[in-house]
């Protein structure tokens, strides 16, 4: 990635589509995590927030958003995986969309997608049928 590159967070990062491995769509950038540097003077973007709770928080429902994110993390199989948080390390490209070096399964609301798949769609014959 080019050093010294400048972007406008609202214009070029927020609300952009996230694309994971195999061009799977993996949610939108709902918010960004900022962490203060050790000397407290600078703020750095450390993670993308996408998924349950993140959008609610962004739209002003702060308490509801935080609660939703916590509930979602607790409900994950290991009980502590906050998939809403995507470390910025895995970003591979920033353009009209943002590409991630991850499987879509590991991001944001993938668990909701999984639940819907396992409990609703899988029961309908033909759900594994290839499109063409």
Partner 1 sequence: MHLSDLLHSQVLGADGASLGSVDDVRLVQDGPLLLPFGAAFRVEGLMVGHRSVGTRLGYVRRGVRGPWLLRIIFAALERRARYVPWDDVVAWDGRTVRVGKRRDELGVVVP
Partner 2 sequence: MKKMLQITLGILTAIGGFVDIGDLVANAAVGARFRLGLAWVVLVGVVGIIVYAEMAGRVAAISGRPVFSLVRERLGPGFGLANLVASLFINFLTLSAEIAGVAIALAMVASVHYILLVPFTAVLIWIVVWRLPFERMEQVFGLGGLALLAFMFALVQFGPDWGNVIHQATHPSIAKEENIFTYAYFGIALFGAAMTPYEVFFFSSGAVEERWTRKDLALNRANVYVGFPLGGALSLSIMAIASLVLAPMHIGVDTLPQVALPVAVVSGKIALACAILGIFAATFGAALETGLSAGYCLGQYFGWQWGKYVRPREAARFHVVVIVMVLLGVLVIMTGVDPVKVTEYSIVLSAAALPLTYFPILVVSNDPDYMGDKTNGPVLNFIATLYLGLIVIIALATIPLMIITKAGA
Site for partner 1, rule CB under 8 A: 1-14, 31-35, 37, 42-46, 49, 57-58, 87-92, 101
40 within 8 A of 49, measured Cβ to Cβ? no
Closer residue to partner 1, CB minimum distance, 85 or 104: 85
Name which of partner 1, partner 2, none residue 1 binds, using a CB cut-off of 5 to 8 Å depending on partner kind: partner 1
Tokens of 114: 């999984």
Least Å distance, CB 62 to partner 1, is 9
- φ/ψ of 123, rounded to 5, equals -80, -10
Closer residue to partner 1, CB minimum distance, 3 or 132: 3
Name which of partner 2, partner 1, none residue 101 binds, using a CB cut-off of 5 to 8 Å depending on partner kind: partner 1
Residues in Cβ contact with 54 at an 8 Å cutoff, skipping those fewer than 6 apart: 30, 31, 65, 69, 84, 108
Least Å distance, CB 113 to partner 1, is 24
48 within 8 A of 61, measured Cβ to Cβ? no
35 within 8 A of 76, measured Cβ to Cβ? no
By the rule CB under 8 A, 65 interacts with partner 2: no
| Member of 25, 34, 43, 74 binding partner 2 (CB under 8 A) | 25
30 within 8 A of 58, measured Cβ to Cβ? yes
């Amino acid at each position: 990635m080019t050093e010294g590159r400048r972007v406008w967070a609202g214009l070029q990062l927020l609300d952009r589509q996230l694309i994971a491995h195999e061009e799977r769509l993996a949610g939108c950038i709902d918010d960004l995590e900022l962490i203060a540097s050790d000397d407290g003077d600078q703020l750095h973007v450390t993670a993308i927030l996408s998924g349950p709770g993140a959008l609610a928080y962004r739209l002003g429902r702060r308490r509801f958003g935080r609660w939703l994110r916590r509930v979602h993390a607790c409900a994950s199989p290991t009980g502590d995986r906050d998939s809403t948080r995507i470390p910025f390390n895995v970003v591979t490209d920033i353009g009209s969309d943002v590409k991630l070096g991850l499987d879509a399964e590991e991001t944001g609301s993938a668990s909701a997608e999984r639940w819907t798949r396992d409990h609703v769609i899988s029961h309908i014959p033909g759900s594994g049928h290839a499109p063409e």
